[in-house]
Amino acid sequence: MSDTPGKQQNTAAFYGQAVASFAVAMAATAVGIYQLSADAWVRGFLAIAVLYLVTSSFTLAKVIRDRQDGAAPSYAPFEKH
């Protein structure tokens, strides 16, 4: 195993699993809201709430990633010290 610090890359399988999991979760939530025995305004409110939750989750993940990237020391193997 290498001790060289560098940017980690996810595998294609991991990326595909993450995308598929997100798609299944969104589809299941959409079907659940659609099948809910409630007025249309209640279903609409829940749908908007889910969309807001998803977008704010993406934003939070990006902010956390950017903060971690900024705190991580850069690695330049050919840079003179």
pLDDT tens over the chain, length 81 residues: 555 555 678 899 999 999 999 999 999 999 999 999 999 999 999 999 999 999 999 999 999 989 988 886 666 677 666
16 within a domain of the structure (yes/no): yes
* Rounded CA separation 49/61 (Å): 18
Extract the tokens encoding 44: 């609409």
27 within a domain of the structure (yes/no): yes
Give how many domains the chain has, as a whole number: 1
- What's the domain range around 32? 12-71
7 within a domain of the structure (yes/no): no
Q: Kindly compute the dihedral angle of the four CA atoms of residues 31, 33, 39, 42, in this order, to the nearest 10 degrees.
A: -160
Query: How high is the pLDDT of residue 44?
Result: 96
* Rounded CA separation 42/10 (Å): 39
Query: How high is the pLDDT of residue 10?
Result: 85
Query: How high is the pLDDT of residue 69?
Result: 85
Report helix, strand or coil for 78.
coil
Own/partner contacts of 23-27, CB < 8 Å, gap of 24 or more, are 26/50, 26/54
